[in-house]
Amino acid sequence: EVPLKYGAQYTGKRTDEAMNKWRGNRFGQFIHWGLYAIPGGVWNGKTYNYAAEFLKSSAKIPTSTWDSLMYQFNPVKFNARQWAKMAKQMGARYMTITTKHHEGFCLWPSQYTDFNIGNTPYKKDILKELVEAYNAEGIDVNFYYSVLDWHHPDWRYDIKSPEDSVAFRRFLQFASGQLRELATNYPTVKAFWFDGTWDNSIKKNGWWTLEVEQMLKKIRPGAVVNSRLRADDFGKRHIDSNGKLMGDYESGYERRLPNPVKDVQVTRWDWEACMTVPENQWGYHKDWSVSHVKSPLELLEMLVHTTSMGGNFLLNFGPAGDGSIRAEEQHIARTIGAWMQQNGQVIYDCDYAGWEKQDWGYFTKPRTGNIVNMVVFNIPVNGLLKVKVPAGTKISKATLAGKNVKVEEIAKDQFFIHLPQQAYKMPPVIVLEAVGGAKTNAQYQEAKT
Ligand SMILES: C[C@@H]1N[C@@H](C(=O)NCc2ccccc2)[C@H](O)[C@@H]1O
């Protein structure tokens, strides 16, 4: 091991109450909302098919022109309570909001820049309204914060001169100030989701990333910080030069999920996957016809897949500039919500079961008890769901919607669960009662080869 001053501060999973709550939440709503939602990917009558939140760079818009969008931000259809109710109905247990994205516009009245909600026609502290509305629904609120800031004159992509380092030191003070006011003025915030930290300027200032993590946890004991903030003494990000995860959970799964067989090592620490509904749109884009739009079932399978590997799933919504939520996103919330209403117990407070992945779907395991859940997405033609159990495990019971289904031992530590034949519109859940360490059935012996 190399000695590190700014590397991982601990190893293993945090087991304090705040982290257990963060972990057990499992399903979150990501919200990308900022000035980019006003043009929605269209500029001077031209549609740009890149991510809408990058329109400033894809349409090569001068900063002064882009920043004047602030004077148009007036979401007349915005209703924080409605957004929170929709998220509650969807089954989200937490919400992560872009307090400031790469454009530098702040959804809160920051004292460190005039480029904020207070100087828009809307005027009011929209971040406060969202935190209060979501907390009122029992949903935890986390803050996304982009360190990368296209608006701030002292931002640097790299440090190549003494002037750069003087300017960037000012920038880091600015960012620390903003984070201090976010952690102080919104005391119910539970976690910080850092983005925009991949440039050399940050990699050369690993000390600052640790200082920020420590400052936030001092102001908000129990606060959870993602690995994406962190760089160590040598500029290594997420995982330090000794192979240890920095921050409290691994946040590298963006628009992709770990492979359920090859990437099982992801279960060694906490992690979260964040996901767009279109192929690559986080902010509101007026035209979703240009790429694949994921269906509610695709997204539900990703949620179950993530839970089955011990991760959290953060599903993105991109509200329009007027504060409305587009129909596709409302449909997703309603459809996933209906299933979560019946089956949330196989997601919340559930984890990796450690059983061998099968083709029909995913196992999840509640934190306590001898239950293992089966969530079936691929209905087998023969109606038989193969289950391979750890040596000596017995399946004493299997139920679907409270009714027993047949369990058939077919070989050593192998069973068929008989799935009732019917047309399934949504994934059925079978609950297994499994007891370990039982004497194996003498009838089944492994082959001698
Ligand atoms: C969570 C996502 N992270 C942002 C992102 O992909 N930024 C990548 C990026 C931003 C600027 C230049 C190159 C690449 C997206 O806008 C979302 O906020």
Give me ligand 1 centre to Cα 228, in Å.
12
Residue 206, classed as helix, strand or coil, is helix
Tell me 371's DSSP state: E
Q: Whose CA is nearest to atom 18 of ligand 1?
A: 282
Section 246-274 average pLDDT = 97
Whole-number Å distance between alpha carbons of 360 and 68: 52
Q: How far apart are CA 329 and CA 86, in angstroms?
A: 10
The ligand 1 atom at the shortest distance from the C-alpha of residue 283 is 16
**pLDDT: is 68 or 435 the higher one?**
68
- Is 272 near ligand 1, meaning CB less than 6 Å away? no
**DSSP alpha helices (H): ranges in 138-295?**
162-185, 200-203, 206-219
Neighbouring residues of 372: CB distance < 8 A, sequence distance ≥ 6: 353, 355, 363, 364, 365, 431, 432, 434
How do residues 141-171 score in pLDDT, each as one tens digit? 999 999 999 999 999 999 999 999 999 999 9
Confidence of residue 439 (pLDDT cuts 50, 70, 90): low
CA neighbor of 130 nearest in space, from 88, 178, 95: 95
Q: What is the CA(399)–ligand 1 centre distance, in A?
A: 44
Q: Is 287 in the pocket of ligand 1 (CB under 6 A)?
A: no
Centroid of ligand 1 to alpha carbon of 196 (angstroms): 7
CA-nearest residue, atom 10 of ligand 1: 196
What percent of the chain clears pLDDT 90, i.e. is strictly above it? Answer: 96
Q: For residue 443, what pLDDT band results from cuts at 50, 70 and 90?
A: confident
199 lines ligand 1 (CB under 6 A): no
Following CA atoms 108, 109, 114, 120 in sequence, which dihedral angle do they give, to the nearest 10 degrees? 80
Pocket test for ligand 1, best of 30, 31, 53, 145 (most atoms within 8 A of CB): 53
* DSSP bridge pairs for 432: 372, 398
Is 212:176 a contact under the CB 8 Å cutoff? yes
CB 117 within 8 A of CB 124: yes
pLDDT(224) > 90: yes
pLDDT at residue 436 in the model: 81
Instruction: State the chain's mean pLDDT as an integer.
Output: 97
User: For ligand 1, atom 9, which residue shows the shortest CA distance?
Assistant: 196
How far does the centroid of ligand 1 lie from the alpha carbon of residue 191, in Å?
19
Say what the pLDDT of residue 446 is.
Answer: 75
How many C-beta atoms lie closer than 10 Å to residue 22's C-beta?
A: 26
177-190 pLDDT, tens digit per residue, is 999 999 999 999 99
SS3 call for 378: coil
Rounded Cα–Cα distance for residues 195 and 62 (Å):
23
Distances (CA, A) of 359 to 84, 345, 372, 425: 36, 22, 16, 18
Predicted TM-score (pTM) of the model is 0.97
Q: Is the pLDDT of residue 372 over 80?
A: yes
Confidence band (pLDDT; 50, 70, 90) for 415? very high
Rg (CA), the chain: 24
CA 254 to centroid of ligand 1, rounded, Å: 10
Q: How far apart are CA 435 and CA 344, in angstroms?
A: 23
Atom of ligand 1 nearest to the CA of 98: 18
Alpha-carbon separation of residue 222 from 156, 195, 218, 358 (angstroms): 31, 20, 9, 37
